Amino acid sequence: MQSPIRPTDDAARAQAAELVRGARFGALGVLAPGTGGPTVSRVAVIWADGPVTLISELSHHTRALRENPAASLLLGEPGGKGDPLTWPRISLQGVARFVDRGGTAHDALRAAWLARHPKAQLYVDFTDFSFVRLEVAEAHLNGGFGKAYLLGPGDLGLTPPG
């Protein structure tokens, strides 16, 4: 049987770049604390040398990431017409890393975050909020009906974790 996964080419890389850099929101998949069962939350995102989100200690997904940093992030919104399942999307898998508050990395992310999500000015500095970067190990691109690709960090312009 022939694999349904197409060879990754420059067109797939360009489509993936457009999806990840254009995303404002995504679905964050984590393993629930205590049970290890899968759970998903909608989160705001930016692309700053990789996917970054801002999460609160009050959130279930924050507790989950502190217990087990394995995570996935689905990016890509359906368009206005047609079957939503035919629109491109990308699922990123990797390990979540919390960014220390107060350092230059945090300050740079704060500025980039507010440029993309200006209403976050209301809460970005609350002490229970942290930036979390997903170190991408692999990505699965669904480029539209019948267009599936497996991408590595290098295909997204990232350094492989490790």
pLDDT in tens, 84-136: 888 899 999 999 999 999 889 999 999 999 999 999 999 999 999 999 999 99
pLDDT at 162 over 70: no
What are the counts of helices (DSSP H) followed by strands (DSSP E) for the chain? 3, 8
Task: Give me the CATH topology for the region 5-153.
Answer: Pnp Oxidase; Chain A (2.30.110)
pTM for this entry? 0.93
- Quickly count: other Cβ atoms within 10 Å of residue 82's Cβ: 10
Please give the Cα distance from 22 to 126 (Å, whole number): 26
Strand partners, 2: none
The helix (H) or strand (E) run that includes residue 64 is helix 60-67
Going by pLDDT thresholds of 50, 70 and 90, the confidence category of residue 159 is confident
pLDDT at 64: 97
Q: How large a percentage of the chain has pLDDT more than 90? A: 83
Please give the Cα distance from 153 to 69 (Å, whole number): 18
Average pLDDT, the chain: 94
pLDDT at 31 over 70: yes
- For 131-154, write each residue's pLDDT tens digit: 999 999 999 999 988 899 999 999
Q: Which token pair is 59?
A: 């959130």
Which residues of 3-128 form beta strands (DSSP E)?
Answer: 5-6, 25-31, 38-47, 51-56, 70-75, 89-98
